[in-house]
Each structure stands twice: as C-alpha cells, then as structure tokens.
Amino acid sequence: MSARPLHFIWLADGSGSMRVDGKIQALNNAIREAIPHMQTVARENPHAAVLVRAMSFADHAQWLVEKPVPVGEFRWVDLEAGGVTALGEALAMVGDALEPPFISDRALPPVIALVTDGLPTDDFHAGLNHLMSKPWGRRALRIVVAIGEDAAATEAQQIFRAFVANDALRPFQANNPEALVEHIRWVSTVALKSVSAPSSQVAGSSPHAVVAAGAVAPTGNADVW
C-alpha cells in the first residue's frame, strides 16, 4: 500500500526588481513561514505523499530543489534577486519535470505556485504552451501570487490569467508583506488540501472548482509595494 504522490512546485521570481522594497526578503520569509503549515496539512492526510520542488527564474530558470523532496524534509534556502525575468523558460522546464518518470500515473493533480512581481522578459507563451502540452501540466492547479503594483497592471494580469487558465480562480495580489504571507499560506494549505481529495472529475471539465470556490483573498494592511 502507498499514498498517492502529490507534487508541489514553488516557482519563485528572483529577478532584479524583487530587490526593490524588500520584496525578495518578504518572499523568502513568507515561504519559510508557510512550510510548517504545509507539513501539518500533509500529516493530516496520510493518503497523499506531498513532494516539493522549487525553481527560481531571473536571467535563466534554475532548480533550487530539483529532486522531489518529501514535504517533511523540505527546507527553503533564501533566494537572492538579480537579472531579468525568464518565466517562459521556467514554465518549459516545469513541463519537462512533470513527465514520467518524474511523476507516476497514480499521482494526484500537481500544484504549481508562481510568485512574481512583474512581466516576463522572455517568450512566456512558448513556455506556457510547452507546459500545457504536457498532460500533467494541463491538469495541475496553477496559482499565481502577484507582488506589487506592477503585477497588478493589465498586461501582467493577462499573463497570470493565461497561466492560471481557470475563470473561477483569480491571481492573488499582495501589496505588503503581511498579504504575501497570507496568500502563500493559503496556497500551501487550502490549495494543497483541495487537490488531495480523491474525487473524480469529468474529462475536460474544470478540475479545481473546490479551490476556486474557496479562494478568498485575505484582507491586508496598507500597500507597501
């Protein structure tokens, strides 16, 4: 007997703009703070084996944690910011990482959590198309936590919505460190719990209605970013 694998991938923006106003430090703190909550949720559901990976993207995308690590052993190593925003490259690499033998037939829907403060500088759509050409990429729960006012601009929101590809689930907007912590904790717990459920979905239907129904943005403090 074995629990079903559940792959969770952090996709963190390490571009130069994340240095401004302490955004990168806030991201590091928020993810580090969320990990114990993720571990608690995972312990409460022994039927899912949560495996975590992490990738950052700046001038290029690179794995911070390439081999899936059981959530109980996952540690966040502080990310430093510098360079441009190669999000398209990152999505393409995640697509490749969601193929056998890296993911088994019996896995639960993966979660891809993108945390970013702005627009990609490379071919985002080519990367997204590559991710969505993979069955597990299409079935993943894709969530965006957008940081700061640049990420709230129309062009950025269009990109985030294309990534999420779920009309019922909007990108989260964090304009201060407290909101970032809240959003990332939500991603780490509610979203994780939701995809752990064994309920079936009719092929071709929206796979993550439960998450969408529960996606309530937390109220934040005054805007900083």
Interface positions with other proteins (CB under 8 A): 1-4, 45-48, 104-110, 135-136, 138-139, 197-205, 207, 209-210, 213
Residue nearer to other proteins on the CB measure, 154 or 198: 198
Residue nearer to other proteins on the CB measure, 35 or 210: 210
Least distance to other proteins from the beta carbon of 200, Å?
A: 4
Residue nearer to other proteins on the CB measure, 99 or 223: 99
Q: How many CA atoms are closer than 13 Å to the CA of 120, on its beta-carbon side?
A: 26
Residue nearer to other proteins on the CB measure, 4 or 43: 4
Least distance to other proteins from the beta carbon of 132, Å?
A: 13
Question: DSSP string covering 43-110, please?
Answer: HH-TTEEEEEEEEEESSSEEEEEEEEEEGGG--PPPP---S---HHHHHHHHHHHTSTTSS-TTPPPP
Q: For residues 206 and 54, what is the distance between their CA atoms, to the nearest angstrom?
A: 26
Contact 119, 28 (CB under 8 A): no
Least distance to other proteins from the beta carbon of 214, Å?
A: 10
